């Protein structure tokens, strides 16, 4: 099977696979009212065998990296088995997850043993009270303990996602930088993005990542080259710091030119873009191992419809109502 490629000669090495829509946090920018099922129930999410088949199909078409996302992926009781199922594919060199961190201290060693190679944790503030206000959960100490547990389990680096928000954490760069001075953490500031339900919050709190980038460059941070299966972050390093800083800026010109990732939802739909209109159902081709060629053909054909860019600048957020499907 040839490499998945679209009409703009972009090759896709990176799959972001949601394994559940359920989340136990209530982040202000994502699910401020908490998770509410939308006519589905947990048994409707992709089964372990379906996950095995879809990742096998992507691996055979050149996928090198799979990120397991949610909702909160560790809400699945079989999450460790899911990691092991993805690990069965030799072509997949990186298995990552994005988590809110509340189960890391307990389970991260088992995840590592099952084959997890990279981990992203969402931490929008280093102030425990503000963390509680943003997430709706008083779990700051547990999440910090989880990050320590990840290092103890053998992870050489932990990525920390922080949604950049004006008047919330945009003024806290120095605090974040001091935190990663002696820790191999890649702190990733993600620009707040407009969604169907979050327009008011977006206009209140959006701030460009350029503000952070300018400060970093003034302080001697240098941008690093990007690997072909890396995510969209612009990564900066400084010789005086063990950690790194990444900036994800979807409103910047040519952001989509380097797109290398596809998404599959927890219900088995292929999404060509986070902010696209709808998805392509794959579920009917995940029932049997014998359907792999047909599954790959449907994915390859669908890539012909992938747009050159998103339309966020025009205020078109597609069907994305909140940010629970970003996955970090």
Write the pLDDT tens digit of every residue in 35-73. Answer: 877 655 556 999 999 999 999 999 999 999 999 999 999
Is 29 marked as binding a ligand?
A: yes
CATH assignment of the domain containing 142: 3.20.20.70
- Of the chain, the percentage scoring pLDDT greater than 70 comes to 90
d(CA 160, CA 231): 14
Q: Is residue 5 part of a domain?
A: no
Tracing tokens 């049997």 back to the chain, one arrives at: 288
User: Domain count of the chain?
Assistant: 1
pTM higher than 0.85 for the full model?
Answer: yes
Q: Is the dihedral of CA 44, 323, 86, 58 positive or negative?
A: positive
In a domain, 57, yes or no: yes
Known binder of ligand: residue 283? no
Is 158 a domain residue?
yes
Q: Does 310 score more than 60 pLDDT?
A: no
Query: Is 112 annotated to bind ligand?
Result: no
Annotation-wise, does 188 bind a ligand? no
Does a structural domain hold residue 92? yes
**Residue at 148 is within a domain:** yes
List pLDDT tens digits, range 242-277. Answer: 999 999 988 887 777 778 899 999 999 999 887 666
Q: Does residue 227 have a known ligand-binding role?
A: no
Q: Which domain holds residue 308?
A: 14-314
Residue 262 labeled ligand binder: yes
Whether the pLDDT of residue 326 is over 80: the answer is no
129 belongs to an annotated ligand binding site: no
User: Does the annotation flag 273 for ligand binding?
Assistant: yes
Neighbour count for residue 284 (Cβ, 10 Å): 11
Q: Is 103 labelled as part of a ligand binding site?
A: no
> In this structure, is residue 298 part of a structural domain?
yes
Task: Check the annotation: does 223 bind a ligand.
Answer: no
In DSSP terms, 236 is beta-bridged to 223, 245
Q: Is 237 annotated as a binding residue?
A: no
Instruction: Kindly state whether residue 324 falls inside one of the protein's structural domains.
Output: no
Tell whether residue 246 is among the known ligand binding residues: no
The model's pLDDT over 100-139, given as tens digits with 9 standing for 90+, comes to 999 999 999 999 999 999 999 999 999 999 999 999 999 9
List all residues 6 or more positions away from 310 whose beta carbon is below 8 Å from its beta carbon: 250, 255, 256, 273, 274, 275, 276, 316, 318
- Among 21, 12, 15, smallest CA distance to 325 is for 21
Summarize pLDDT for 126-179 with one digit per residue, the tens. Answer: 999 999 999 999 999 999 999 999 999 999 999 999 999 888 888 899 999 999
Q: Is 93 annotated as a binding residue?
A: no
pLDDT at 105: 98
| Alpha helices (H) along 38-157 | 48-60, 79-87, 104-114, 128-135, 140-152
27 assigned binding-site residue: yes
Q: Which residue has better confidence, 328 or 261?
A: 261
**Residue at 320 is within a domain:** no
Residue 302 assigned to a binding site: no
Is 98 annotated in a binding site? The answer is yes
Residue 16 marked in a binding site: yes
Q: Could you tell me which of 218, 184, 109 has the C-alpha nearest to residue 154?
A: 109
């Amino acid at each position: 099977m040839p490499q998945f490629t679209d009409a703009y000669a972009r090759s896709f090495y990176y799959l972001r696979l949601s394994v559940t829509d359920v989340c136990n946090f209530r982040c202000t920018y994502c699910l401020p009212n908490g998770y509410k099922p939308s006519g589905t129930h947990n048994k409707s999410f992709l089964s372990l065998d379906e996950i095995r088949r879809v990742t096998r199909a992507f691996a055979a078409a050149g996928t090198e990296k799979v990120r397991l996302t949610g909702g909160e992926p560790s809400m699945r009781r079989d999450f460790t088995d899911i990691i092991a199922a993805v690990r069965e594919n030799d072509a997949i060199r990186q298995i990552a997850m994005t988590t809110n961190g509340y189960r890391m201290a307990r389970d991260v060693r088992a995840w590592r043993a099952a084959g997890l190679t990279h981990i992203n944790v969402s931490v929008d503030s280093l102030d425990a009270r503000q963390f509680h206000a943003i997430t709706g959960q008083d779990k700051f100490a547990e999440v910090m303990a989880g990050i320590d547990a990840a290092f103890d389990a053998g992870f050489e680096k932990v990525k920390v996602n922080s949604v950049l928000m004006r008047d919330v954490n945009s003024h806290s760069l120095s605090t974040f930088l001091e935190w990663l001075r002696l820790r191999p953490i890649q702190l990733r500031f993600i620009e707040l993005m407009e969604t169907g339900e979050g327009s008011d919050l977006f206009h209140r709190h959006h701030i460009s990542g350029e503000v952070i980038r300018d400060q970093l460059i003034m302080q001697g941070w240098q941008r690093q080259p990007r690997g072909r299966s890396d995510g969209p972050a612009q990564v900066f390093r400084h010789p005086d710091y063990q950690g790194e800083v990444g900036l994800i800026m979807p409103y910047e010109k040519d952001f989509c030119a380097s797109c290398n990732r596809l998404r599959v939802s927890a219900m088995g739909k292929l999404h060509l873009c986070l902010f696209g209109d709808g998805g392509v159902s794959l579920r009917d081709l995940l029932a049997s191992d014998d359907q792999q060629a047909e599954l790959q053909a449907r994915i390859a054909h669908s890539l012909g419809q992938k747009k050159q860019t998103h339309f966020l600048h025009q205020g078109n957020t597609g069907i994305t109502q909140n940010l629970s499907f970003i996955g970090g």
